[in-house]
Amino acid sequence: MNIIDGKKVSARVKAEVKAEAESLKAKGISIGLAVVIVGDNPASRVYVNNKKKACAEVGFDSFEYALPAETTQDELLALVDKLNSDAKVDGILVQLPLPSHIDKNAVINAISPEKDVDAFHPQNVGHIMIGDYAFLPCTPAGVMELIAETGIEVSGKKCVVIGRSNIVGKPMAMLLLHKNGTVTITHSRTRDLPSVTSEADILVAAVGKAGFVTADMIKPGAVVIDVGMNRNAEGKLCGDVDFEGCKEKAGYITPVPGGVGPMTIAMLMRNTLTAAKMHNGCQD
């Protein structure tokens, strides 16, 4: 059993981003990320704080817009519009979920694709689909870095993704496919899920249910990546994988916390750097 250390890999990615940000700064170019949060979802609050902290670490400016839960869709769209034309803002991130009276897709569609550092805009999703993209889908890209860390080639491997969300499951499958994995996407209607997952050389769990993946569901020696971020009955942060039960059987496994979470933020920093380079005409 090998534990993949997401904190270590994310520190390396952030150090690379920081070095590039410093050389841009020397040319008079500063980099800014706007983070918008609506309402007071406690998990969202933690994520937004972590994103701001990461900006400070790599030398970016961050601009937080914390709006009350009653904010109307029109008010939010007006803010997005303002940020789209603000030269100090290279990236715009609207933290999800949004309150139910706001149409999430209307907001995502309003973000300028050149500032869409989440890569959620349909134009950027299309770029990911055809494999020609500037912005990485943050969480799936972070997972790919963690898989690379194991030294195991994706090419030809059986890869199973549990979950089909637009944020993780679907783009995750695309990135594995771009690396020539043989990819299966499973979901709540999949019949006999354990028979599918136990064939996987690489298993990515993005279900949203604590301890969902148990040892009987994994292949001996598999790479097991846990995207889950759940609270158990005691309020403790835990993933979708029963870590204690699976750690001896898996070849490589990511912990929660300290696995995928830090990688998502590191990839967001990389995307914001990419956006700044594009906006300043210094894309290499």
Q: Which residues bind ligand GUN (CB under 6 A)?
A: 93-96, 118, 138-139, 167, 264
Q: Where are the alpha helices (DSSP H) in the chain?
A: 6-26, 42-58, 73-84, 104-110, 122-130, 138-150, 169-178, 193-197, 243-246, 260-279
- Closer residue to ligand GUN in complex, CB, 97/194: 97
Of the candidates 143, 83, 136, the residue with the CA atom closest to the CA atom of residue 111: 83
- How near is the Cβ of 43 to ligand GUN at its closest, in Å? 8
| CB 120, min distance to ligand GUN, A | 7
Q: Which is nearer to ligand GUN, 62 or 264 (CB)?
A: 264
Report the nearest approach of ligand GUN to the CB of residue 167 (Å).
6
Least distance to ligand GUN from the beta carbon of 175, Å?
Answer: 15
Pairing, β 237-238 against β 158-162: unpaired
Contact 179, 144 (CB under 8 A): yes
Torsion of CA 113, 133, 159, 217, to 10 degrees: -20
User: Which among 95, 201, 226, 242 is annotated as catalytic?
Assistant: 95
User: Do residues 32 and 61 make contact, with C-beta atoms less than 8 angstroms apart?
Assistant: yes
Cβ closer to ligand GUN: 9 or 108? 108
Judge whether 73 counts as a catalytic residue.
no
CB of 92 to ligand GUN, least distance (A): 9
Of 90, 116, 118, 201, the catalytic one is 118
| Catalytic site includes residue 95 | yes
Q: Which residue among 14, 51, 170, 219 is the active-site one?
A: 51
- Closer to ligand GUN by CB, 137 or 219: give it: 137
- Residue whose CB is less far from ligand GUN, 58 or 94: 94
Identity of the residue, 94 or 222, whose beta carbon is nearer to ligand GUN in the bound complex: 94
Spatial strand order of the sheet with 61-67 comes to 61-67, 32-38, 91-94
With CB atoms as reference, the residue minimizing the distance to ligand GUN is 96
Least separation in angstroms between residue 107's CB and ligand GUN is: 10
Q: In the sheet that 182-186 helps form, which strands lie side by side, from edge to edge?
A: 2-3, 252-253, 223-226, 202-205, 158-162, 182-186
Cα-atom radius of gyration of the chain, to the nearest Å?
Answer: 19
Whether the Cβ atoms of residue 91 and residue 272 lie closer than 8 Å to each other:
yes
3-state secondary structure of 71: coil
Residues annotated as part of the active site: 51, 95, 118
